[in-house]
């Protein structure tokens, strides 16, 4: 997983991340990029992203493998449905997937670790146990918009990022075989008076018990972390046993977080993180080249479908719940997030290469950001 940062950063800037460039400059950058890279000229994903239309010949041999999929809605959920399309695509590459759905992400992760699953789909927070680089995508405040997330996934789906998708643990080789968005995460508060860091001391915030970063950040803000997991954090919020949860907008309807919001609650508009879904494979059990082809398929074909799903989830949120942050608060949140990321890099929780890449992407989208003149991250 070694990669020279200078090469990586130079490539990120030259490989079509030209969202602030003139059209002629964008075209020149795209021309110098890898042929497999297709970076939109705007920062907004649309359905015009070219899909892989190459006619494939069925492979001479097919291997049977299991794919364990976490979907908060279970086997009827839209994530599982997307993975069924992925299952069809994988068959063209010589892999016959049996899909096993899970509502408990912890069990899905453990089943992959114990080799009950040959591949698994998890959130990035869980994926950190298998790849610290992609497992740092959910870093606090690191990906401000959907456009930033789209740029990141396109960069990571290029063949030139392949070495960063690989990791080893003992005698096993893991590979990230695809990354999809699961939406921006926001602070859901039970009382709208909680609008900034000044109101956090003494408040109880549900944090995932397997993520050291969350608990530490909460303690630094003077709040009280309440160890939770994906199966119980919503019920705690809805029962008023915690004051705040951090969740993607998909959870509003799926987990009925509107019950916890009630008449007094709200959703802070600042994007605390972008949640990702990542497919991880036991690399030695798959045909050569499968991981790269899988990453490109997800980036080109499944990404637009995931975005449509997330837009539909976001539409369920009642506008009355949004708490609009003032420009001063947004600036303060950005600075607090930056300082927190630096501390978590130093502690080995966030991967420094991913943090540097994300900073480059932020500054390519928004060159005027104050951090762009700083050496940190």
> Considering the domain boundaries, does residue 258 fall inside one?
no
Closest CA to 276 of 85, 137, 84: 137
Contact 268, 325 (CB under 8 A): yes
> Considering the domain boundaries, does residue 264 fall inside one?
no
pTM of the predicted protein model: 0.84
Q: From CA 252, how far away is CA 244, in angstroms rounded?
A: 13
CB atoms within 10 A of CB 342: 15
State the CATH number of the domain containing residue 171.
3.40.190.10
**Domain housing 151:** 5-41+56-183+275-316+348-373
The per-residue pLDDT for 281 is 98
Q: Please, which pLDDT band fits residue 58 given cuts at 50, 70 and 90? A: low
Q: From CA 108, how far away is CA 130, in angstroms rounded?
A: 13
Closest CA to 150 of 184, 128, 186, 180: 180
Contact 31, 12 (CB under 8 A): no
> Considering the domain boundaries, does residue 132 fall inside one?
yes
For residue 154, give every residue at least 6 positions away whose Cβ sits within 8 Å of its Cβ, in sequence order, or none. Answer: 16, 37, 38, 39, 299
Q: What angle do CA 263, 205, 140 make, to 5 degrees?
A: 110
Read off the tokens for 163: 């070495």
Q: From CA 92, how far away is CA 22, in angstroms rounded?
A: 39
pLDDT tens across 88-106, in order? 999 999 999 999 999 999 9
Q: What angle do CA 253, 117, 59 make, to 5 degrees?
A: 105
Element (H, E) at 70: strand 63-70
> Considering the domain boundaries, does residue 34 fall inside one?
yes
Q: Please, which pLDDT band fits residue 18 given cuts at 50, 70 and 90? A: very low
Specify the number of domains making up the chain. Answer: 1
Examine the pLDDT at 25 and tell me if it is beyond 70: no
Question: What single string gives the DSSP state of each residue in 196-251?
Answer: SGGG-TT-EEEEETT-HHHHHHHHHTT-EEEEE-TTTHHHHHHTTSSSEEEEETHH
> Considering the domain boundaries, does residue 68 fall inside one?
yes
Q: Please, which pLDDT band fits residue 212 given cuts at 50, 70 and 90? A: confident
For residue 120, give every residue at least 6 positions away whose Cβ sits within 8 Å of its Cβ, in sequence order, or none. Answer: 67, 68, 69, 70, 108, 109, 111, 112, 279, 280
Element (H, E) at 50: none
> Considering the domain boundaries, does residue 166 fall inside one?
yes
Examine the pLDDT at 158 and tell me if it is beyond 50: yes
Lowest mean pLDDT segment, chosen from 60-64, 113-117, 129-133, 362-366: 60-64
Q: From CA 207, how far away is CA 272, in angstroms rounded?
A: 13
Measuring CA to CA, how many Å separate 162 from each of 38, 52, 156, 170, 295? 16, 19, 8, 20, 10
30 vs 273, residue with greater confidence: 273
Torsion on CA atoms 22, 181, 127, 364, rounded to nearest 10: 20
> Considering the domain boundaries, does residue 97 fall inside one?
yes
Residues forming beta bridges with residue 245, ordered by sequence position = 188, 206
pLDDT tens across 161-173, in order? 999 999 999 999 9
> Considering the domain boundaries, does residue 255 fall inside one?
no
- Mean predicted confidence (pLDDT) in 132-137: 98
């Amino acid at each position: 997983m070694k990669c020279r940062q200078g090469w990586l950063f130079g490539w990120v800037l030259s490989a079509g991340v030209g969202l602030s460039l003139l059209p002629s400059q964008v075209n020149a950058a795209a021309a110098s990029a890898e042929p497999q890279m297709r970076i939109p000229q705007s920062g907004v994903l649309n359905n015009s992203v070219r899909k892989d239309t190459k006619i494939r010949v069925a492979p001479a041999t097919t291997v049977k493998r299991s794919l364990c999929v976490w979907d908060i809605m279970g086997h009827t959920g839209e994530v599982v449905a997307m993975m069924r399309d992925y299952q069809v695509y994988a068959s063209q590459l010589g892999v016959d997937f049996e899909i096993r759905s899970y509502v408990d992400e912890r069990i899905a992760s453990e089943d992959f670790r114990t080799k009950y699953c040959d591949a698994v789909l998890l959130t990035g927070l869980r994926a950190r146990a298998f790849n610290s680089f992609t497992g740092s995508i959910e870093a606090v405040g690191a990906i401000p918009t959907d456009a930033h997330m789209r740029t990141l996934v396109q960069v990571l789906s290029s063949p030139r990022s392949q070495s960063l998708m690989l990791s080893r643990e003992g005698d096993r080789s893991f590979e990230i075989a695809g990354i999809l968005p699961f939406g921006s995460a926001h602070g859901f508060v039970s009382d709208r008076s909680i609008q900034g860091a000044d109101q956090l001391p003494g408040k109880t915030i549900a944090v995932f018990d397997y993520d050291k970063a969350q608990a530490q950040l909460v303690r630094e803000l003077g709040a009280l972390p309440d160890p939770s997991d994906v199966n119980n954090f919503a019920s705690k919020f809805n029962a008023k046993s915690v004051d705040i949860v951090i969740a993607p907008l998909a959870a509003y309807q799926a987990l009925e977080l509107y019950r916890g919001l009630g008449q007094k609650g709200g959703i802070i508009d600042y994007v605390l993180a972008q949640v990702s879904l990542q497919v991880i494979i036991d690399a030695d059990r798959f045909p050569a080249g499968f991981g790269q082809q899988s990453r490109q398929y997800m980036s080109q074909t499944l990404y637009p479908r995931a975005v449509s799903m997330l837009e539909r989830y976001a539409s369920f949120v009642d506008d009355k719940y949004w708490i609009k942050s003032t420009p001063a608060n947004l600036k303060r949140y950005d600075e607090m997030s930056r300082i927190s990321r630096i501390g978590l890099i130093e502690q080995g929780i966030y991967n420094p290469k991913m943090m540097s890449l994300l900073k480059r992407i932020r500054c390519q989208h928004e060159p005027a950001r104050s951090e762009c003149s700083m050496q940190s991250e």
